[in-house]
Amino acid sequence: MTDTPVELFDAVASSYVAHRPSYPAAWFRRFAQHCSNHQSVWDCGCGNGQASLALSNVFEKVFATDASPNQIQQALPHPRIEYSCAPASASGLDAASVDAVLVAQAVHWFAGDAFNAEVRRVARPGALLAWIGYTAPQLQEGSLQSLFDCFYRSKLKRWWAPERSWVDRHYAGLPFPGVEWPFPTDLYIHRYWDLEAFLCYLSTWSAVEAARRGGLHVLPALRQDLKALWPNQGQKPLLIHWTLMGRWGRLEPDA
């Protein structure tokens, strides 16, 4: 039986908190600048609340929902954040109750008519909408990148859920329930990580967890391959970056 996304992300909930990179502060500043009201926002598919915490600096109230109970349990409490375990298509929020809807690195799991109907139900007219994510990591050493690309695109291929392909396409083709704007192309996530930190991040991937549940531990072999090429046998921190991508716009045209 194939594991559901909720089961996969439940299993790696504690690793998510420790090893997933956070989103750039510049994105949230830009998001806030384009939102006409800052009373409330829905962070759908919030996971452990990374984006929720950043949104709490801008909005008076953050409604943060996720279908994974373990992810919600890992979220850090905050007086302006209300966490709840709920599917994207049935948030439990009041109608016309939010000024913005954000989905961070999750919309590919639940995009479609049911979710868009829920967005239209809970968002106020003119609400700001954004589906954001980030690309596969880029390493500063070409030989390491080539080896990693083989791992990502070939060795993990059978373990990626079909929905993952939407991330590689920057969500292009997913139904978007609003009038879109060009997405910024100048936003990045940067980290300096040694090999073990990088592997810990990879351990949070749904495909790595799916392979483990299928009896295949894919990271030990990758560790050995990367260690042979990584400076100082993997101990030197290297620059790793991800390009922020996504889609955004308004629920309806400005009056």
**Domain definitions of the chain by residue range:** 5-250
Largest CA distance in the chain: 59
For residue 14, name the pLDDT band (cuts at 50, 70, 90): low
Under 8 Å between Cβ of 86 and 65? yes
Q: Which DSSP helix (H) or strand (E) runs through 255?
A: none
| DSSP for residue 93 | P
Predicted structure pTM score: 0.92
Contacts of residue 243, Cβ cutoff 8 Å, sequence gap at least 6? 134, 135, 138, 185, 187, 188
Instruction: Please give the Cα distance from 178 to 148 (Å, whole number).
Output: 36
Instruction: Please give the Cα distance from 206 to 84 (Å, whole number).
Output: 22
Under 8 Å between Cβ of 215 and 152? no
Helix, strand, coil % over all residues of the chain, rounded to 5: 40, 25, 35
* DSSP-derived pairing of the beta strands 98-104 and 40-44: parallel
Q: How many CB atoms lie within 10 A of CB 43?
A: 29
Tokens in use for 225? Answer: 């391959």
Q: How many CB atoms lie within 10 A of CB 68?
A: 24
Tokens in use for 181? Answer: 């704007």
Q: Any bridge partners for residue 60, and if so which? A: none
- Given a cut of 60, whether residue 93 has pLDDT beyond it is yes
Tokens in use for 223? Answer: 């560790």
For residue 255, name the pLDDT band (cuts at 50, 70, 90): very low
Contacts of residue 17, Cβ cutoff 8 Å, sequence gap at least 6? 48, 74
Residue-wise pLDDT tens digits, 193-226: 999 999 999 999 999 999 999 999 999 999 999 9
* CATH superfamily entry for domain 5-250: Vaccinia Virus protein VP39 (3.40.50.150)
pLDDT at 18: 81
- Given a cut of 90, whether residue 57 has pLDDT beyond it is yes
- The length of the chain is 255
For residue 86, name the pLDDT band (cuts at 50, 70, 90): very high
Under 8 Å between Cβ of 244 and 23? yes
